């Protein structure tokens, strides 16, 4: 007898398995070369050669008891210091190792921040469209997700509704920039407006409202732009970071959480996060990969392919009549369906060999997500199918 909470969640697991089965049927029907899977946000590029070299150097140069051993639950101090130094060099912040907790990817960074702050019944604001997994993370701590409906113009934040939904029970706001599934990057003026609302509401209610920025796509930002650093806009800010996309190491589960030092209860919070990392069963971020992150901080895989893919896809799809807010980053695009029923649209897409995800999965019906982290050739081959899908609605 599995737990009640898990019964519902395991059903979704079955839906994913059903999708895999569907994929097999599509291949049997259309041929492997005519099936294009854009459903998963799985990096399509190799890690930089420097990662392999770093691993070998670490094994040859450092003591095995250090490389594979226990350390402070928040991570190796030298790795946390190297991380802080790099962020400071990029964003003019003034962090030390005390501001960094090395984590089992961004997923665990989000979980320890929620564990450290959320009491059962506390509200967590989510900006639609958003990564559905946030609901599960909030549910782990009996928090209550409160969804702000989409700003369809720019996929920024629907600020009026956002302000109206900040309540005395609001304990956290999760944002994700660059955004999955839209590719939107919040501008400085967006973030200033967000911070103003939160500061006003904190004063009004006498509460602390934490902002956490989930940033696994920080380095995948197009046109040479930079993603503004959140701690500079709002004091009660956490940043959750992962090397999954920047170094193309998604399986290694290595990332970190930044705790802004202007947070009013900084020391207590740092202590709570250290304990949360331990008692949630992470214990610490994987040790060898921490040391790799320390040596490779600031490096990236060759991310240029994602911008090339975005350009190809955006140009072609707008030509075919798709309505799209042009992504400014990530490897996702979030066009409008040609029908309000996004599930029907994605089912019809399968007839043309396209595996895409309904916007409903991101709390934004009527849209669909394309994860274009695929080979350029695959993308080019898929374009006629997108055209046929569009034409089928004329």
Which of 14, 61, 203, 223 touches a copy of itself (CB under 8 A)? 14
Does the protein bind a copy of itself through residue 111 (CB under 8 A)?
yes
CB of 369 to a copy of itself, least distance (A): 17
Question: Which residues inside 308-367 make contact with a copy of itself, applying CB under 8 A?
Answer: none
Which of 133, 188, 308, 323 touches a copy of itself (CB under 8 A)? 133
Tell me the C-alpha distance between 101 and 74, whole Å.
Answer: 5
Does the protein bind a copy of itself through residue 283 (CB under 8 A)?
yes
How many residues of this chain interact with a copy of itself, rule: CB under 8 A?
A: 75
By C-alpha distance, which of 170, 174, 173 is closest to 123? 170
Residue whose token pair is 């374009």 = 383
Which of 259, 276, 354, 363 touches a copy of itself (CB under 8 A)? 276
Which of 99, 170, 237, 284 touches a copy of itself (CB under 8 A)? 284
Tell me the C-alpha distance between 181 and 333, whole Å.
Answer: 7
At residue 127, the 3 state secondary structure works out as strand
Site pattern 30..49 for a copy of itself (x: CB under 8 A): ----------x-xx--xx--
CB of 9 to a copy of itself, least distance (A): 5
Count of Cβ atoms closer than 10 Å to residue 283 Cβ: 12
DSSP state of 48: P
Write the CA distances from 359 to 124, 205, 345, 356, integer angstroms: 21, 34, 10, 9
Does the protein bind a copy of itself through residue 74 (CB under 8 A)?
no
Mark the segment that binds a copy of itself (CB under 8 A) among 65-73, 197-205, 357-365, 372-380: 65-73
Question: Which residues inside 188-207 make contact with a copy of itself, applying CB under 8 A?
Answer: 207
Residue 246 β-bridge partners: none
CB of 228 to a copy of itself, least distance (A): 26
Complete DSSP assignment for 336-359 = BPSSS-HHHHHHHHHHTTEE-EEG
CB of 358 to a copy of itself, least distance (A): 20
9/380 with CB nearer a copy of itself: 9
Does the protein bind a copy of itself through residue 15 (CB under 8 A)?
no
Whether the CB-CB separation of 125 and 162 falls below 8 Å is answered with yes
Question: Which residues inside 250-269 make contact with a copy of itself, applying CB under 8 A?
Answer: 250-254, 265, 268-269
Tell me the C-alpha distance between 246 and 217, whole Å.
Answer: 7
Which of 24, 25, 29, 52 touches a copy of itself (CB under 8 A)? 52
Whether the CB-CB separation of 202 and 208 falls below 8 Å is answered with yes
Which of 28, 59, 94, 380 touches a copy of itself (CB under 8 A)? 59
Mark the segment that binds a copy of itself (CB under 8 A) among 26-34, 114-122, 183-191, 226-234: 114-122
CB of 156 to a copy of itself, least distance (A): 27
Does the protein bind a copy of itself through residue 121 (CB under 8 A)?
no
Does the protein bind a copy of itself through residue 129 (CB under 8 A)?
no
Whether the CB-CB separation of 285 and 279 falls below 8 Å is answered with no
Count of Cβ atoms closer than 10 Å to residue 32 Cβ: 9
Tell me the C-alpha distance between 128 and 106, whole Å.
Answer: 19
Does the protein bind a copy of itself through residue 55 (CB under 8 A)?
yes
Does the protein bind a copy of itself through residue 3 (CB under 8 A)?
yes
- Here the tokens at position 94 are 């003034």
108/158 with CB nearer a copy of itself: 108
C-alpha torsion sign, points 155, 9, 116, 85: negative
C-alpha torsion sign, points 73, 211, 223, 316: positive
DSSP state of 232: G
Site pattern 143..182 for a copy of itself (x: CB under 8 A): ----------------------------------------
């Amino acid at each position: 007898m599995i737990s009640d909470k898990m019964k519902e969640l395991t059903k979704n697991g079955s839906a994913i398995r059903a999708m895999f089965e569907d994929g097999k049927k599509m291949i049997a029907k259309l041929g492997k070369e005519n099936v294009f899977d854009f459903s998963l946000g799985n990096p399509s590029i190799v890690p930089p050669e420097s990662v392999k070299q770093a691993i070998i150097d670490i094994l040859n140069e450092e003591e095995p008891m250090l490389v594979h051993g226990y350390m402070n639950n928040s991570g190796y101090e030298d790795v946390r210091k190297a991380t802080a130094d790099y962020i400071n060099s990029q964003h003019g912040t003034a962090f030390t190792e005390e501001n960094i907790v090395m984590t089992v990817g961004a997923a665990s960074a989000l979980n320890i921040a929620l564990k450290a702050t959320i009491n059962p019944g506390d509200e967590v604001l989510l900006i639609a469209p958003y990564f559905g997994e946030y609901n599960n993370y909030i549910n782990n701590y009996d928090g209550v997700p409160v969804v702000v409906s989409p700003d369809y113009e720019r996929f920024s934040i629907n600020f009026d509704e956002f302000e109206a939904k900040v309540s005395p029970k609001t304990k956290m706001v999760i944002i994700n920039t660059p955004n999955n599934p839209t590719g939107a990057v919040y501008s400085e003026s967006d973030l200033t407006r967000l911070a103003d609302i939160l500061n006003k509401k904190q004063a009004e209610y006498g509460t602390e409202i934490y902002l956490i920025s989930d940033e696994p796509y920080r380095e995948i930002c197009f046109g040479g732009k930079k993603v503004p650093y959140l701690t500079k806009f709002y004091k009660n800010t956490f940043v959750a970071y992962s090397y999954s996309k920047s170094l193309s190491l998604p399986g290694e589960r290595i990332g970190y959480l930044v705790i802004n030092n202007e947070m009013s209860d900084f020391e207590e919070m740092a202590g709570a996060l250290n304990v949360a990392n331990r008692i949630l069963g992470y214990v610490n971020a994987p040790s060898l990969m921490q040391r790799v992150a320390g040596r490779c901080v600031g490096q990236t895989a060759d991310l240029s392919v994602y911008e090339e893919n975005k350009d190809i896809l955006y140009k072609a799809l707008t030509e075919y009549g798709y309505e799209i807010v042009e992504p400014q980053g990530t490897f996702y695009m979030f066009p409008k369906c040609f029908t309000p029923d996004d599930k029907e649209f994605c089912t019809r897409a399968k007839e043309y060999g396209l595996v895409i995800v309904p916007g409903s999965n991101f709390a934004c019906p009527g849209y669909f997500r394309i994860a274009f982290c695929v080979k350029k050739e695959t993308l080019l081959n898929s374009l006629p199918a997108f055209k046929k899908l569009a034409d089928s609605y004329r």
